[in-house]
Structure 1
Amino acid sequence: MLIVQKYGGTSVMNCDRIQNVANKVAKCAQKGNSLVVVVSAMSGVTDEILGYGHHFTPLPNEREMDMALSSGERITAALLSIALNNMGLKAKSLSGRKAGIKTDSVHTKARIKYIDTTYMRKLLSEGYIVVAAGFQGVDENGEVTTLGRGGSDLSAVAIAGALGADTCEIYSDVDGVYTTDPRIESKAKKIEKISYDEMLELASMGAKVLLNRSVELAKKWNVKLYAKSSFSEDVGTLITGEDNIMEKPIVSGIALNKNQARVSLYGVSDTPGIASHLFNTLANANINVDMIVQTVGRDGKTNLDFTVPKDELEKAKLCLATYKDATLEFDTEVAIVSIVGVGMKSHSGVAAKAFKALADENINIMMISTSEIKVSVLVDIKYAELSVRILHSIYELDK
């Protein structure tokens, strides 16, 4: 079998843990499997490098930050390769460039365009364990790019898809996908199987087990994806197609995203194309907008409310500086709580049940957004975790 494994920052945070990973990799290789191992930077290293960059300016040059940030994964890859070679195994570490990962030119959040697998296939045919630095690639000009926070997941899934791997295993410090964050709700249960679409919604709304872009890519390539723990032999959670899940619960999980800021524009000119111009401006700055609410004001004016990630708020403020006729307000003390489940497609009243439960606890809902399998609400951050526990209980996810 050809297996792609990815190990996150907590799994490789020091030499002892890198040795633990080496032991797991060796055990898998000794069963006759071919292996590509994708690694993150050691826990805390990426934040440390970001801190260095922000020492000089709140908005450091993104090309230079990519040069700095990409070093963390390369260090881990080389150290793991050293450990494996010391155990008598053939291993070779590769940067994103050597792994053939080609991206667009959007620094700090690049998208993978394709992967040239020629060199990796050559190494695998020669019996090497390939150890690839995650989170990075190069654009058409050879410039180093990074894929954004959690991008090592994306690297692993993309490599698995490009190589036609039998399975892709994502290792972290948790042993699978839970109905909600166990640190918030102790009654959270591990999910044995979950659909790509449900996992995509949970990941996009704050569940940190997998990056949403990696789930999207896994669905596209039909990659058999597992979420496992580096510190146990548990089988973890299988992320698969909806057709492979016999019983589809109405609600599978509750997600919480605290990395959100609310932006409010009051008194914008109510003319055709104003929303298009505003959100195109944000899109051109690569700012992700989630919830959007527009209300009609008075005297030819309108009001717009939307949410953006907190770490993109400063860029959003720069984009909105041109709207001098509007009143701008920003609120970072908010969070998005989401209910996710494929069973919602065929059941009514799911949202109403949530709204009533929150109202009974005097929790005010500021904004609402929905999809076929998700209902999200924006609430005051001080009520965020309480909201998660309430919703987890009313949908009986602890049973």
Structure 2
Amino acid sequence: MLDITKLTGQLPAISEHLQQEARASNKRLNQAYDLLEETVSQQEELERKQQQWLDRAIFRAAIPVEPLDTCKEIPVPPYAHSVFATDGSQIAPSHHEIAYCYLINIGRVMLHYGQSLFPVLDSLPEVFYTQEDLYESRQWGIPTEEWLGHRRTVSEIEALAEMAYRWVKPPGAHSEPNLALVDGSLIYWFLDSLPTPARDRLLPSIFRAWEQLQEAKVPLIGYLSANRHTEAVRFLRYVACPYSVPDCQSHCGSQQGKQLPCQVCEPLRDTTLWQTLLSPGERSSLWRSQNPILELYPETFSIYFCYVNVGTEIARVEFPAWVAEDMDLLEQSLGILLAQVYKGYGYPVAIAESHNQAVVRSGDRAQFFALLEREMIKAGLQNVGVSYKESHKRGSIA
């Protein structure tokens, strides 16, 4: 039980700390505005420096694709269109349960607008219980619980691609504009810490799903709410560099871990910079991410992004290169996305509904294990039940 009385005495210190952080953030923001103004006036030269000295940099900044001061109004979406989204949830394995297994539940949503068609809202559960499912990741030093999360990511994009592909194909079956949405980044940061054999079990399946979407011409967008990225702000470090050339290894290589001369506005977030530059319904300039993990991606799946003022927040929106290179398709997709946010009162309604379809509540969990227990007893297994520890945790004697 949480002792609120003892906790209350710690809150004033937290409040004071947050006030100090707010003042420091405002100072960094003003410095960033000054740097942004300088960067806009010499953007082409700075881009050349970035490309020329990329291998000598000790930081990774995104590459701007448009002028940094771009604030473009997002167009109204087509009257008739369809939106697909998936999200996942799981029951993690536990040795204290009646059986050591795990479950992945993928929520699927297909919404149609202006077409007099019924929506699809359902979920696809799958149970994993074999030795390979449960212990395969141990050979790479990856805990089963962590591997479960990675497999769920793959299942989400596979279900999304399969749903969208079946709807659009054969060609001409449904010619209205479409959009596939996922919650979160298309840059799979977690791959960076995985050994190569583990990556090889995940990435091919993801790229096959992306290829399906590209073949069906269904644009893919990753929606990031309340994100903490600084990729775009890092580009300002080139104009803040006090040296004639940004040779980080030579000039600042020995200072790693310290405050560098070009870090005058970090750790300012991208969203903080763009929150006063963008009006509701506008997007920022396009950027190409330079995250190292993208070296594993095919060129057509390089990740681009922009920031969108959706009214309630500044959201980061990511999409593969083949979408970014088709400006008409991109603008249409952003229009559909913004309409989804408005329909969801601040968050894309298709993503929210897919989460609601995927979530496994306590009652669902209890019913799952009750069904499993019945099947185990029917099969003649003995001593079916949870551990004493688990049974005591579920019911207090106090």
Query: Is TM > 0.5 for Structure 1 vs Structure 2?
Result: no
Question: Aligning the two structures, in what range does the TM-score lie when normalised by the shorter sequence?
Answer: under 0.3
**Higher relative contact order structure (alpha carbons within 8 Å, sequence separation ≥ 6):** 2
The structure carrying a bigger strand percent of its residues is: 1
The structure carrying a bigger helix percent of its residues is: 2
Using structure 2 for the length normalisation, give the TM-score: 0.28
Larger Rg: 2
Using structure 1 for the length normalisation, give the TM-score: 0.28
